[in-house]
């Protein structure tokens, strides 16, 4: 019941989250900071009540280590959401973030001096090629959609390049954070729910730097079309409703991943998250009619084949199909 329930949470939570994030971004492309802030406040408040027991429970991992982790986590979250301000379409945003496994592997080779099999290196090439194809095709779309004057087209393209640089930096920083977490968990044991709380609580003062942007979007959200909530006869601006649902679905998604990590092998978790990204991408393209060419589909397919190759899903499926007979023969 546990793993099945967790998979349902991940798919329902994460896919719904993408839908409501896109609804927010479509009307207010620069709302990334207020979305990040709302998500952090909600998860930090839940963790303060249920994980730390109103601050009574001492952390198993020293706070100094959490400060380092939080600095990286806050930077990644803000940059990922802020990149949407730079002509980055939601499908490209999702495809780019699918390269996290590969970024983690590259930094693992450089920092931890790890060595991998040939299939792992092939998966790096496939994911890199897939992201490159999608990025190049999106670059062409930016140029086509800004055919007005040469200066306007160049400005829009440079603006888009800044967004790509931000996504690349966030991808590498996220991988570095993953390696840092890995070393911490080896030393102090796994405390993922505690880490979830501190990762969302400690960065809250950092949002003071973004307070002007957050406040301006609070005003814009309050000026959006009011919607009557049935039963309570209360009129609420539609953007606040979208934000609330986005925050709740983000929490459901994170909780689902947390349950999966405690009940399933890491391979299963990676596969579920990868499939969730793929479904979110397809839904975003179909429902919101985002521009997506044949080459985008080719690039997406290459990214997901590379990711599945990395997680060794094919060999696991083959082993499962052979069944217990194959294991008995091996034992003999």
**pLDDT tens for the 332 residues of the chain, in order:** 467 888 888 888 888 888 888 889 888 888 888 998 999 999 999 999 999 989 899 999 999 999 998 898 888 888 887 887 887 777 777 777 767 767 777 888 888 787 878 887 887 788 778 877 776 776 666 555 555 556 667 787 888 889 889 988 988 888 888 788 878 878 888 787 888 899 889 989 989 988 999 999 999 999 999 998 887 778 999 999 999 999 999 888 888 887 777 676 555 676 677 677 777 777 777 777 767 778 878 888 887 787 777 767 667 767 766 765 555 555 55
pLDDT of 226? 93
CA dist 33 and 218 (Å) reads 11
CB-based burial label for 60 (10 Å; 0-12, 13-18, 19+) = exposed
- Is the residue at 253 inside a domain? yes
pLDDT of 149? 57
pLDDT of 1? 47
Which pairing describes strands 226-229 and 234-237: parallel, antiparallel, or unpaired? antiparallel
Q: How many domains does the structure of the chain reveal?
A: 1
- Is the residue at 256 inside a domain? yes
Q: Which long-range contacts (CB under 8 A, 24 or more apart) does 136-139 make?
A: 137/293, 137/295, 137/296, 137/299, 138/89, 138/92, 138/296
- Is the residue at 117 inside a domain? no
For residue 101, the tally of other CB atoms under 10 A from its CB is 21
Sequence-separated (6 or more) residues with CB below 8 Å from residue 238: 224, 225, 226, 227
- Is the residue at 11 inside a domain? yes
Write the DSSP assignment of 122-149 as a string of letters.
HHHHHHHHHHHHHHHHHHHHHHHTT-S-
Sequence-separated (6 or more) residues with CB below 8 Å from residue 182: none
Domain residues for the domain of 75 are: 3-111+155-290
- Is the residue at 331 inside a domain? no
Q: Quick one: DSSP state of residue 224?
A: S
Number of H helices, E strands in the chain: 13, 2
Contact 242, 34 (CB under 8 A): no
| DSSP H or E segment with residue 226 | strand 226-229
- Is the residue at 209 inside a domain? yes
Phi, psi of 290 (to 5 degrees): -70, 140
Which residue has 């495809």 as its token pair? 95
Q: Mapping DSSP to helix (H, G, I), strand (E, B) and coil, where does residue 58 land?
A: coil
Lookup: tokens for 193: 């729910």
The Cα-based distances of 170 to 100, 128, 268 in angstroms read 10, 16, 25
- Is the residue at 130 inside a domain? no
Q: What is the pTM of this model?
A: 0.71
pLDDT of 139? 62
- Is the residue at 129 inside a domain? no
């Amino acid at each position: 019941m546990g793993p099945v329930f967790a998979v349902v949470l991940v798919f329902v939570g994460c896919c719904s989250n993408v839908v409501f994030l896109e609804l927010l971004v479509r009307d207010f492309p620069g709302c990334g900071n207020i979305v990040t802030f709302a998500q952090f406040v909600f998860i930090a408040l839940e963790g303060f009540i249920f994980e730390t027991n109103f601050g009574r429970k001492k952390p198993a991992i020293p706070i100094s280590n959490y400060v380092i982790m939080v600095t990286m986590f806050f930077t990644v979250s803000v940059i990922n959401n802020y990149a949407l301000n730079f002509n980055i379409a939601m499908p490209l945003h999702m495809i780019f973030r699918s390269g996290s496994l590969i970024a983690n592997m590259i930094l693992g080779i450089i920092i931890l001096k790890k060595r991998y099999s040939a299939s792992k290196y092939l998966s790096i090439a496939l994911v890199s090629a897939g992201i490159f194809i999608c990025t190049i095709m999106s670059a062409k779309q930016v140029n086509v959609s800004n055919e007005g004057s040469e200066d306007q087209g160049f400005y829009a393209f440079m603006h888009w390049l800044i967004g790509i640089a931000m996504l690349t930096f966030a991808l590498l920083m996220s991988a570095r954070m993953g390696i840092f977490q890995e070393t911490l968990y080896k030393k102090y044991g796994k405390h993922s729910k505690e880490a979830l709380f501190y990762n969302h609580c400690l960065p809250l003062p950092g949002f003071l730097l973004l307070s002007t942007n957050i406040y301006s979007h609070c005003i814009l959200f309050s000026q959006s079309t009011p919607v009557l909530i049935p039963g309570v006869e209360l009129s609420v601006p539609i953007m606040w409703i979208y934000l609330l649902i986005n925050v709740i679905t983000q929490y459901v998604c994170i909780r689902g991943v947390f349950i999966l990590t405690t009940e399933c092998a890491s391979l299963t978790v990676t596969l579920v998250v990868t499939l969730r990204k793929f479904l979110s991408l397809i839904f975003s393209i179909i429902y919101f009619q985002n521009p997506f060419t044949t080459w985008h589909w080719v690039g997406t397919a290459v990214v997901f084949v590379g990711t599945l190759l990395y997680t060794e899903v094919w060999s696991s499926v083959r082993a499962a199909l052979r069944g217990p007979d194959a294991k008995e023969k091996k034992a003999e």
